[in-house]
């Protein structure tokens, strides 16, 4: 059984009275309301699962990841568990580590902080994230969280990313603070309204 606690991965051995083996269980990190919870979700095309309390609570830390060094509060929302990797957002990137050894498998850089992430992923390990339009500068200390993207967690690729404008908002991209995934639809929302995109192509389905 694999448990994710913060930036540490813990393996828990589970044995029942009949010694039929281990019962799989995952627990997501606490990086936000839409932070990852391994493989789970609702809707067509999404993987689901159930959890069972282990018969034994004996466990050991398999590996730990160092906390990034940052100068100010930095968002690193989102974590997921695939069949091969523990994937976690970092500072302006999404990083995968071997789920058994903890060795780095790949990294997907993005222009700014990962400011939102879906807890869900598809059966072929695709998920949605939000990230800021860029890194802080002297001229723009607080970049907006207005970019939506889809990451292939199996291949280690950002499949597409984009922003949208509102009908009455001029040329300024709409800011989002949450994103989710259902079937083949990626939906993002914020105080200025919501937008939806096709999971595969990124085509707009609706916007404010």
The DSSP code sequence of 179-199 is EEEETTEEEEEETTEEEEEET
Residue 28: inside a domain: yes
pLDDT over 80 at 148, yes or no: yes
Residue 98: inside a domain: yes
Residue 70: inside a domain: no
How far, in Å, CA of 190 to CA of 175, rounded? 6
Percent of the chain with pLDDT over 90: 55
* pLDDT (0 to 100) of residue 94: 97
Q: Is 0.85 topped by the overall pTM?
A: no
How many CA atoms within 13 Å lie on the side-chain side of 46?
Answer: 24
pLDDT over 80 at 153, yes or no: yes
How far, in Å, CA of 144 to CA of 140, rounded? 9
Residue 189: inside a domain: yes
Residue 192: inside a domain: yes
CATH number (domain holding residue 114) = 2.40.128.630
Sign of CA dihedral 173, 181, 77, 154: negative
pLDDT of 14-49, one tens digit each? 444 444 444 443 444 444 444 444 444 444 566 666
Sign of CA dihedral 106, 111, 115, 117: negative
pLDDT over 80 at 177, yes or no: yes
* pLDDT (0 to 100) of residue 74: 81
How far, in Å, CA of 208 to CA of 30, rounded? 30
How far, in Å, CA of 208 to CA of 202, rounded? 16
Residue 99: inside a domain: yes
How far is C-alpha 82 from the geometric centre of its chain's CA atoms? 11
Residue 151: inside a domain: yes
The answer to whether 54 and 12 are in contact (CB under 8 A) is yes
pLDDT of 112-136, one tens digit each? 999 999 999 999 999 999 999 999 8
Residue 200: inside a domain: yes
Q: Which residue has the higher pLDDT, 204 or 171?
A: 204
Query: Containing domain of residue 128, as a range?
Result: 2-15+24-65+76-206
How many domains does the chain divide into?
A: 1
* pLDDT (0 to 100) of residue 48: 64
pLDDT over 60 at 3, yes or no: no
């Amino acid at each position: 059984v694999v448990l994710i606690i913060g930036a540490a991965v813990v393996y828990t051995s589970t044995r029942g009275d009949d010694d039929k083996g281990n019962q799989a269980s995952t627990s997501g990190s606490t990086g936000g309301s839409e932070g990852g919870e391994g493989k789970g979700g609702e809707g067509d095309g999404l993987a689901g699962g159930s959890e069972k309390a282990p018969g034994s609570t004996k466990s050991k830390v398999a590996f730990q990841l160092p906390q990034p060094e940052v100068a100010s509060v930095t968002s690193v929302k989102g974590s997921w568990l695939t069949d091969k990797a523990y994937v976690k957002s970092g500072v302006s990137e999404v990083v995968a580590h071997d789920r058994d050894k903890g060795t780095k498998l790949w990294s997907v850089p993005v222009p700014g902080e990962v400011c939102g992430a879906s807890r869900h992923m598809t059966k072929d390990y695709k998920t949605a994230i939000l990230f800021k339009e860029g890194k802080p500068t002297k001229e723009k200390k607080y970049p907006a969280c207005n970019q939506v993207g889809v990451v292939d967690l199996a291949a280690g690729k950002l499949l597409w990313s984009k922003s949208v404008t509102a009908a009455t908002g001029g040329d300024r991209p709409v800011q989002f603070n949450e994103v989710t995934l259902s079937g083949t639809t990626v939906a993002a929302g914020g105080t200025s309204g919501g937008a939806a995109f096709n999971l595969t192509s990124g085509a707009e389905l609706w916007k404010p």
